[in-house]
Amino acid sequence: MKKSQKIFVQFGICFFVISLVGLLINNLTINLTRTGLGFNFNWLFKPASFALAEHPLPYSSSDNYAWALFIGWLNSLKVIVSSLMLATVLGTLIGFARTGKNALLSLLSAGYITIIRQTPLLLQLMFWYFIGFLGFKDNTFIHIKNIIKISNQGIELSGLTLSSEFSALLFGLGIFTSAYIAEVIRGGILSVPKGQWEAFRSLGLSEKKGLLSIIIPQALPAILPGLTSQYLNLAKNSTLAIAVGYSDIYAINDTIINQTGRAIECFLILLTSFLLLNLLICNCMEIINKTILNSRKYN
Amino acid sequence: MKPIVIAKNLTKSYTKGLLALDNVSLTVNQGKVLVVMGPSGSGKSTLIRTFNGLETFDKGEVNVLGIKIDPDHNERKIQKIRKRVGMVFQQFNLFPHLSILENITLAPVHVQKRRQIEAEEYGMYLLSQMGIDSHAKKYPSQLSGGEQQRVAIARALALKPELLLFDEPTSALDPERINEVLDAMRRLAKQGMTMIVVTHEIGFAKEVSDQVLFMDSGKVIETTTPDIFFSNAKHERSRKFLNQLDKY
C-alpha cells in the first residue's frame, strides 16, 4: 500500500469512529430532552425514601441517594471480600487435593470442580438461597448453643450475624469461584518440573515440607495472574446479588433507576464503582506479584 | 563383605506387555562402584530409582541398607532409606529459588534436625571439596552446568549417605564440563563411597567401577568386571552396544 493510500484509510477510520460517537451522543441528547430530565447529578442529594435490609453503616429511608449508593458499594465490597477469602481457602485445598497422591481425594475434587464449573452461577445462587437457606426444615439446620446457628435467618457465628441473603451469596460466589481457583492452583503446581519433586523426595523431605519450601514458591508466579482474573470475575459476578435480594450496589442502582429514571447517570456511577473496585483488586494483586518477583534472586 | 543393595527378581511393567524391568537381580557390596550401562529405554534409570523409592515395581524385592521394600511401597520404610541414600540427577534438579548453600543445608536441617550453623559449616566443607565454595551465596542459574552438578553432588552428600545413586550425571553437560564432574565422582569412589552409576562414560567405567551391569529391554544381559566387559564382552548385544558407543 502506498503512503497516500495509508493516510486515506486512516482518515476513513477516524471519520467512521467520530461519526458513530456523534450519532450516539445525538441519540442521547434527543432522548434526554424528550424525557425532560437533562444530564445532572443534583438528584443524588434528595432523600432515597426506600429501606435497606442490610447496611454496615447507619442508614434510614430519609437519607439521600448518594448515601444509599455508598451503602450499596460497601455491601458489595463486604460480600466480595468475604467470598474472595472463602474461594481462596477452598480453592487452594481442592487444588492440592486434586494434584495430590490420594486417589479418592483427587477423584472427589475432580467431581466438585466438574459440577461447579459446568452449572450456571445464577442457578447455584438460587440453590443456596431457596433450597439451602430458606429451605431448612423447621427453620433451623444446625444449632450449637453460643457457637453456631444456621437457619433460614442466615448464619450466627459466636456473635457475628450474617443474613440468609448474604450467606447464600457468600456460599454461591465462594464455592463457584473456588472451583476455578482450584484449577489455577493445579496449573501452577503442574508447571513446576517433575524433577523438583524427585529432588526433594530423594533428600528425605516430607511431602508437606517439600510442598511448602520447594513446590509452592515456584508455583506462585504461575498462579498469581490466573488468581487475579478469578478475583475480578468474582467481583463482577457479585452483581447477581439482585437474584437473591441482597442490596449490593447493582440492586440499589436498579431501584434508583426505577424511582428517578436516571438510567444514564446511574450506569455511569455503577461503571465507576466497579472500575474502582476492580482497580483496587488488580493493584493489590500487582503489589503481591511484584513483591514475590522482587524477592526472587534468580531467573 | 557387607551388601548395601540387594535386588531380587525385580519386575515392573508400564503398559501391558512392555516390561521396564524384567526379573532383575543384583548385589552391590559396601565400598563398591557399580556402573549400569545400556541403550536408552533399557530400564537403567528405572532400576536405580527403585532403590530410593522414586519408582515402584510390581514383583520382587529390594533390600537397601538392610531395609526391605516390596511392591507395597511402604512410605515409612522408603523415607528411612531416603535419609541414608543420596541421589544425583541428569538435570541436576537444584532448587532454583534457594541459594547454593541453602540447597545443601535444607535436608540436614529439616530431615536430620541439625543446627543451621552446623549444617552450613559442613555444607561449606562439601562445597570446598567440590571446588565451588566461592559460589555459596549464588543461585543455581548463575552457575555453569558442571558447577550445578557438583552442587547437586554436595547436596546429596550433605546427609552423609551410605550409598550414592547417579542417574546419567554427565549426559546434560557440555563435553568440556564432563570431566570436572567425573573427577569429583572419582574422588568419592577413592574415599570408599558405595556408588551405583548409570552412565555412558566408558573411561570412567573402566577406571573406577568394580562391576559393570549391562541392560537391554529391562533385562540384565550381563554383569561382569569392566576389564572383561570392555575387552571381551560375552554377549552379542553388549558388543553391538559398545561398537555403537565407540563411533562417537
- Region B84-96: mean pLDDT is 96
- CATH label of the domain that carries residue B69: 3.40.50.300
Question: What distances in angstroms separate CA B209 from CA A289, B35, B88, B243, one per listed residue?
Answer: 50, 6, 17, 20
CATH number of A74-293: 1.10.3720.10
Residue numbers in A near B79 (CB within 8 A): 204, 206
Which of B107, B130, B161 lies at the terminal end of a domain, its last residue? B161
Give the C-alpha distances (Å, rounded to integers) separating B61 from A7, B56, B106.
79, 11, 31
CA dist A281 → A86, B88, B99 (Å): 16, 44, 33
Residue B157 belongs to some domain of the structure: yes
Distance CA A196, CA B140 (A): 13
- Grid coordinates representing B4? 548395601
CA distances from A294 to A213, A289, A299, B135, B168 (A): 18, 9, 11, 21, 35
Pairing state between β B59-64 and B163-167: unpaired
| Residues of the domain holding B102 | 95-161
B103 and B148 belong to one structural domain: yes
Residues on chain A bordering chain B, Cβ-to-Cβ distance under 8 angstroms: 193, 195-196, 198-206, 209, 213-214, 217-218, 296-299
CB A77 within 8 A of CB A232: no
The whole-angstrom separation of Cα A283 and Cα A4 is: 43
Name the CA radius of gyration of chain A, rounded: 25
At A295, is the secondary structure helix, strand, or coil?
A: helix
Distance, in angstroms, between A116 CA and closest chain B CA? Answer: 34
State the pLDDT at residue B248: 59
Q: Considering the domain boundaries, does residue B47 fall inside one?
A: yes
Closest in B89, B97, B156 to A296, CB measured: B97
Quick one: B167 and B152 in the same domain?
A: no
Euclidean distance between CA atoms A79 and A89, whole angstroms: 16
CB contact at 8 A, A134 and A125: no
Contacting residues for A11 by C-beta, under 8 A, at least 6 apart: none
The interaxial angle of helices A65-99 and A249-260, nearest 10 deg, is 150
Say what angle helices A164-190 and A216-237 make with each other, to 10 degrees: 150
Interface size between A and B, measured as CB pairs under 8 A: 61
> Does the CB of B94 have a partner CB in chain A at under 8 Å?
yes
Among chain A residues, CA nearest to B165? A202
Please name which of B56, B46, B45 lies closest in space to residue B171, comparing C-alpha atoms: B45
Instruction: Name the H helices within chain A.
Output: 3-35, 65-99, 103-117, 121-126, 164-190, 194-202, 207-210, 216-237, 249-260, 263-295
Question: Containing H/E element for B85?
Answer: strand B85-88
Q: Which of B112, B141, B161 is the last residue of a domain?
A: B161
Shared domain for B116 and B155, answered yes or no, is: yes
Residues B21 and B61 grouped into a single domain = yes
Residue A177: its pLDDT value, please? Answer: 97
The b-or-e profile of A80-110 (16+ CB within 10 A means b, else e) is bebbbebbbebbbebbbbbbeeeeebeeebe
Least confident range from A110-124, A157-171, B54-68, B133-147: namely A157-171
Are residues B10 and B102 located together in one domain of the fold?
no
Nearest to A233 by CA among A188, A184, A268: A184
Residues B61 and B155 in one domain: no
Q: What is the pLDDT along chain A (299 residues), one digit of tens a residue?
A: 788 888 999 999 999 999 999 999 898 888 888 877 777 888 899 998 888 888 888 998 889 999 999 999 999 999 999 999 999 999 999 999 999 888 999 999 999 999 999 999 999 999 998 887 777 766 677 777 777 777 777 787 777 788 889 999 999 999 999 999 999 999 999 999 999 999 999 999 999 999 999 999 999 989 999 999 999 999 999 999 999 989 999 999 999 999 988 888 899 999 999 998 899 999 999 998 888 877 766 65
Task: Mark whether B23 and B55 lie in a shared domain.
Answer: yes
* ipTM for the complex shown: 0.93
Is B90 part of a structural domain of the chain? no
Residue of B nearest to A214 (CA): B95
Residue B184 CA to residue B134 CA, distance in Å, equals: 17
pLDDT for the residue A110: 95
Of A199, A206, A299, the CB nearest to B141: A299
Domains of chain B: total:
2
Higher-pLDDT residue of A1 and B153 is B153
Element (H, E) at B44: helix B44-50
Domain coordinates in residue numbering, chain A = 74-293
Q: Is B195 exposed, middle or buried (0-12, 13-18, 19+ CB in 10 A)?
A: buried
pLDDT attached to residue A249: 92
For the ranges A29-33, A89-93, B74-78, B201-205, the lowest mean pLDDT is seen at: A29-33
Q: How far apart are CA B172 and CA B147, in angstroms?
A: 12
Res B27 pLDDT > 90: yes
Comparing B246 with A46, the larger pLDDT belongs to A46
Grid cell for residue B156: 546429596
Q: Are residues B204 and B189 in the same domain?
A: yes
* Chain B residue nearest residue A205, CA to CA: B111
Do B110 and A205 count as a contact with CB atoms less than 8 A apart? yes
Decide which of B73 and B165 is more confident: B165
**B17 pLDDT band (50/70/90 cuts)?**
confident
Buried b (16+ CB within 10 A) or exposed e, B125-162: ebbebbebbebbebbbeebebbbbbbbbbbbbbbbebe
- Which of these three, B143, B161, B179, is where a domain ends? B161
Q: Given B85, B107, B156, which is nearest A205 (Cβ)?
A: B107
Kindly list the residues from chain A whose CB atom is less than 8 angstroms away from the CB atom of residue B139.
297-298
C-beta of residue B12 within 8 angstroms of C-beta of residue B41:
no
Binning pLDDT at 50, 70 and 90, where does residue B30 land? very high
**Residue A74: half-sphere exposure toward Cβ, Cα within 13 Å:** 13
Q: Are residues B172 and B141 in the same domain?
A: no
How far apart CA A127 and CA A135 sit, in angstroms, is 10
Asked if the Cβ–Cβ distance from A218 to B111 is below 8 Å, we say: no
Candidate from B86, B87, B95 with C-beta closest to A196: B95
Cell of B44: 537403567
Domain-embedded: residue B112: yes
Say if residues B165 and B154 touch (Cβ distance below 8 Å).
Answer: no
* Contact state of A298 with B83 under an 8 Å Cβ cutoff: no
The answer to whether B169 contacts chain A (CB < 8 Å) is: no
Instruction: Please give the DSSP secondary-structure letter assigned to residue B169.
Output: T
Of the candidates B209, B187, B216, the one whose C-alpha atom is nearest the C-alpha of residue B44 is: B216
Q: What is the pLDDT of residue B247?
A: 67
Complete edge-to-edge strand list for the sheet that includes strand B3-15: B18-29, B3-15, B59-64, B67-69
